[in-house]
Chains A and B, each alone.
Chain A
Amino acid sequence: MRKIRLAAAILAALTLTAGAAACSGSSGSGSGSSNKGSTAGGVKHTGTVSLAWPATPDFIFPFAPATNTDGYNGNLTNELWPVLTYSGDGGQSIVNPQESLFSSITWAPDDKSFTMVLKSWKWSDGQPITSRDFTFVYNLLKYNWQNWVNYFQGGFPTDVTSVSAPNEHTVVVNLNQAYNPAYYVDTILNEVPLLPQHAWDKESASGAVGNYDETAAGAKAVYAFLQKQGGDMATFATNPLWKVVDGPYTLSQFQPNGTYTYTANPNYSGNKVYMTKVVNEFYTTDVAELDALRAGVLDTGSLPLNDLQQANLLKSEGYSITADDLNAFASVYVNFWNPQVGAVFNQLYIRQAMEDLINRPQIVSKIYSGDADPGNGPVPLNFGSLVSPLEKSGGPYPYSPSTAISLLKSHGWNVVPNGVTTCTSPGTGPADCGAGIKAGQQLSFVYAYPSGVESVNQMEAAIQSWEEQAGIKLTLKTAPFNSLIGTIGTCTQASHPASTCGWQLFNEGYQPYALYPTGNQNFNTNGTYNLGGYSNPEMDTLINDTDYGNNAATFLQYENYAAEQLPQLWLPDSDFINVYKSDIGGFLPGNPFSEAINPEDWYYSS
C-alpha cells in the first residue's frame, strides 16, 4: 500500500511524468540509458504483470477539472499521454531523455523564452506528433486554466506571452518574466502532456475535427466536451478519443473502482515495450495487498511497513525487495493562525524546542529500519549537489532534550517534565514568553494524523513521548484521512475560519518534489501547500531568487534558511519499499519519481 493516500496522490500528479531534459545542478552525467542493457539476449517479448493501487482513477482526460483531486488519475493517464518532461532516469534525479517528448530545449540569454524541439514521434493512429499538438494544449489551457486542477498560481499557461511554431517540430515560447530554466523545465513542463489535435479538436462526438481551439469560444467548447467525455468511466476503455495515444500503453479494460488493464501500444515511438499487458488491481487496504503478495498472486506491490521480517518471508517466496529514496520531504504542519496557540507557534524558539525533542535518528533506525531520509531540513539527501553542508551534517536541530528545556526556561517557561509546561513570564522581553502569550499558557497541543498505517502510529506515539520530556503535551487525534480533511484547511492571515482552522499540528505524510526541490508553494506566503500559513518576507525573497534567478549558491542559502526557520517541523521520510517477482527484469534501478512503477521498462527473461 502506498503511503498516506492523498500525499501519494499528489506525488503521482507531480511526478509520474514522461519527459527528459538536461537539468542544471543535477548530479551525474546523465548518460541516460536506463535499464535496457541486457535486452539483447533472452528476453520474452510478451508478458503480463499485475500491480496494486490503493485508490482508483475517475478521470481520463489529462486535464481534470479543478474540483477533481483524485491523484490517481495521473497514474492512469501518464502511461497513455506522457508529459513533456519525464523525471528520473536509471535511478538518478535527472530528466529522462528516452521518455521525454522533446529532444532539446534552448533558452534565450535573458531566460525569458525558450525554443523546444519535439521528437519525431507518432501517435498510435500513425499520425505524427507535431508542434500543432503543443499549440493545441496551450490554447485549451489558455482559455480554461481556471478549470484545470494542476494549474498553480502564476504558472503555465498564464505566464506565457506568446507561442509560435516555426515548423512542424519546433515551438518557441515567450514568458512574461525570466525563469530559472531548471525550475521551469523540471517543475512546470512536468505537468504538461501533448494532446492529439488531429483527433480531439472537436466540439462533439459526431462533429468534425477543426481548429476550434484557436478562438476563445471554440477552446471552451472543445475543453468542455473533452472534460465531459473524460469523466464517463463506463467508456474509458471504449471511447475512440482515448485510443489515440503517444505513450507506451493503451487502455484495454477499465472497471470503475476496480481493475484496469493496459495493453502495449504497438505504435509507440519510444523504447520497445516487453510487458505487453499490465493489470492494475485495486486494494483498499494494506492488509489485503500484503496477503495477496504472500500468497503469490500479485506480481508487484509495495510493503506497507518497513519490516525486515516481512521482507525475508517474501524473499523466500520468490520476490525481490528494493528500498528506494523518495524525492520528498516529510513534516508536521504548524498552524500559525490557530486562535489558541498560533501566538505560541509564532515564536521560533518554541518550534526549535519541539524540533530538538524529535529523535529523528531513532525514528529512522527503529521504525524505518534505516530505510529513510533523516529529515534534516527541507531537501532530502538524495538531491546531490542541491543539499547544503548544513543538512548533510545533520541539520541545525539534532536531538537534544536538554537544549529544548533550557530554551524554554530561558524564555520564562516553567518546565514540568512529564507534566505540562506553563508560561510564567509573559511579555516581549528577551527572557519572556513572547508576544500574544498570556501567563499560564500551557504547552499543550492537539496533533492530528490519518489512521491506518502502523509505522505512522508508532512514530506519533514516540513523538508524543519525547515531547513530554519538556512538558510539551501532545494530545493525539487520529481518524481516517478523508474524515480529517473535512476539518483541516489552509489557514492564512487573511483567512482562517474557525471551521477549518481549529487544527494545531497536522502530519499529513510527505510532500513530493519534482526534479527541482523548490520551496515555492510550500513555504512562501499563500503557497498552495502552505497549510499553516507561514509567512516571512525574507523567505519569500529567497524562494523567488531560486526560481527566477540562476545562481546555485542562492539555492543553498535558501535551503539553510528554511532548515533553520522551521516553517514546518522536519521529520524523516521513509523510503518506498517495492516488492516484485524475482523473474521481472528491468525493475532496478527504480525511478524515485514514480515509486519505481515503470512497467514499460520491465521484462521477463526467457
Chain B
Amino acid sequence: MTAYLIRRVGQAILVVIGVMILTFILIHIEPGNVARSVLGFRATQARVSLFNSTYGLNKSLPAQFWSYVDEIAHGNLGDSLYYQQPVTTLMGERLPNDIVLVGLSTVLALLIAIPMGVYQAVKRGGVADNLLTGVSFTLYSMPTFFLALLLIGLFCVQTHIFLPTAPQVQNWTGLFADPRGIALPVITLALLSVAGYSRYMRSSVIDTLAQDYLKVARAKGLPQRLLLFRHVLRNSLLPIITLVGLSLPAVVSGAVISEDIFNFPGMGQLFFNAATQHDFPILLGSTLLVGVATVIGNLAADIAYGILDPRVRHVSH
C-alpha cells in the first residue's frame, strides 16, 4: 500500500505540472494579448509595450513559464493584474467562503440523500421509491440557474424568508452573521447534488442487501434494523465517500453560476472574472489549486476503491 501511495503521489506531482503547462499555453494562445485586455482597446502601442515589459510579457514563453515556476517555488503566486494584490491574498479571502458553501451544501445533501437512498432501497419498487426517483431526476435535470431563480422567487420575492444575495464579507465568519444570506446558495447546491448521491446510495444499498453474508446473518436471526445499521450502511457508504472525494475540486474551483446569481464572494466568481479579464496570475494560481485538489480527490477515490476491491490494486500500477 505504501509503495502504491508513493507512486501515486509522484505521478500526482507530474500531473499538476502538466496542468500548469497546459493552462499556461492555453492562456497565451488566445489571440490578442493580455496587455490590451487589461488596458482597454484604446491603449496606445506605447502603453502596451510599457505594460509588457513591466510584467515580463515580452520574454519567450518558456522563459516566462520558468520565472513563474521559480516564483511558486518561493511561495509567491504573483500579483493580480487587475486588483494589484497578491493572488494568495485574493484566494485566501475567498477560499474559506467556498469551503463553507460547498461543505455545508454537501453535508445537507448527504443528510437528505443517505436516508432517502436507504429508504428507497428497502422499499424498492414501491410507490414511495418511484416517487422519490421522480423527484431526484427532476432535480438532476434542472439547470442550476433555473433552480436558483425559482428558489429566489419563492423565498425572497413572494415571501421574504431568505435573502437573495450572500453577504459581501472579507472573512468567512461573516457569512454566518445573517444566515438568511447563505441559506439559498447552500440549499440550491445541496438540492442539485441530492440526486446524484441518493441514486448511488440507493443502488449501493440494494447491492449490499443482496450480499450472501447478509442472508446468512438474517438466517441467524439478526433483526432487520441492526442489519441495516451495522452492516448495510457501513458497506454502502463507500461509493458515497468516493463521490465526495471526487467533488473536492468543486470546493476550490467554486460554483460559478451559483456565485453569479447569489453574488457570493467565492473562488468561482474570482476565476470567471479573471478568465474574461485575462488576469493570468489569478488563472494560473487557481489552476494550480484546482489541479492539486483534483489530484488529491482522485487519489482519495482510488484509495477507497483499492480498499473496496483488493484485486484492482494488484492489477493496476
Contacts and interface: CB of A to CB of B under 8 A. Distances in A.
B37 interface: yes
A291 B85 contact: no
Contacts of A212: none
B165 A58 contact: no
B32 A295 contact: no
Interface stretch (A78-86, A252-260, A357-365, A466-474): A252-260
B163 A531 contact: no
B31 interface: yes
A66 B276 CA distance: 21
A283 interface: yes
A499 B31 contact: yes
Contacts of B165: 283, 288, 291-292, 297
Given A288-B262, A288-B263, A67 B83 contact: no
Interface stretch (A19-27, A366-374, A479-487, A592-600): A479-487
A258 B43 CA distance: 27
Contacts of A69: 38-40, 42-43
Contacts of B47: 66-67
Given A67-B50, A287-B261, A486 B278 contact: yes
A172 to B, nearest CB: 33
Contact of A285 (B33, B50, B157, B261): B261
B260 A495 contact: no
B261 A480 contact: no
Interface in A39-68: 58, 66-67
Given A295-B156, A482-B276, A67 B41 contact: no
Interface string B67-88: 0000000000000001111000
A442 B168 CA distance: 52
A2 B10 CA distance: 50
B269 interface: yes
Contacts of B85: 233-234, 256
Interface string B160-195: 100111001110000000000000000000000000
Contact of B37 (A283, A284, A482, A499): A482
Given A255-B170, A291-B157, A295-B163, A482 B41 contact: no
Contacts of A211: none
Contacts of A481: 276
Contacts of A486: 30-34, 36-37, 278
B41 A489 contact: yes
A231 interface: yes
A483 B272 CA distance: 11
Interface in B104-118: none
B95 to A, nearest CB: 14
A161 interface: no
B179 to A, nearest CB: 15
B273 interface: yes
A486 B276 CA distance: 10
B160 A295 contact: yes
A284 B268 CA distance: 12
B285 to A, nearest CB: 15
B265 interface: yes
Nearest to A297: B163
Q: Is the interface of A mostly helix, strand, loop or mixed?
A: loop
Interface in A183-236: 231, 233-234
Given A287-B261, A288-B260, A486-B30, A500 B36 contact: yes
Contacts of B273: 284
Nearest to B156: A295
A282 interface: yes
B316 interface: no
B168 A487 contact: no
A314 to B, nearest CB: 11
Contacts of B84: 58, 231, 233
A548 B290 CA distance: 58
Interface string A66-94: 11011000000000000000000000000
A500 to B, nearest CB: 6
Interface residues of B, number: 44
**Chain A interface category by residue count:** 35 or more
Contacts of A171: none
A67 B38 contact: yes
B160 A488 contact: no
Contact of B41 (A256, A288, A531): A531
Given A291-B164, A482-B278, A284 B41 contact: no
Contacts of B40: 6, 69, 485
A294 interface: yes
A288 B30 contact: no
Given A67-B47, A295-B163, A296-B160, A259 B37 contact: no
A490 interface: yes
Interface string B127-171: 000000000000000000000010010001100100111001110
Contacts of B261: 285, 287-288, 291
A601 interface: no
Contact of B164 (A288, A487, A490): A288
A294 B36 contact: no
Interface in B267-317: 269, 273, 276-278
Interface in A454-507: 480-483, 485-490, 495, 499-500
Contacts of A257: 83, 90, 265
> Which of A257, A259, A487 gathers most chain B CB within 10 Å?
A257
A489 B168 contact: no
B41 A258 contact: no
Contacts of A256: 83, 85
A408 B43 CA distance: 36
Nearest to A259: B168
Interface in B15-55: 30-34, 36-43, 45, 47, 50-51, 54
A58 B168 contact: no
Given A483-B37, A489-B36, A499-B32, 9 more contacts: A257-B83, A258-B168, A259-B168, A287-B149, A295-B163, A297-B165, A485-B32, A499-B33, A500-B32
10 smallest A-B Cβ distances: which pairs? A486-B32, A291-B164, A487-B32, A288-B263, A482-B276, A480-B276, A486-B37, A295-B156, A69-B40, A482-B277
Interface of A: 6, 58, 66-67, 69-70, 231, 233-234, 255-259, 281-285, 287-288, 291-292, 294-297, 480-483, 485-490, 495, 499-500, 528-529, 531
9 contacts: A66-B47, A282-B168, A282-B263, A287-B149, A287-B260, A482-B37, A490-B42, A499-B32, A529-B42
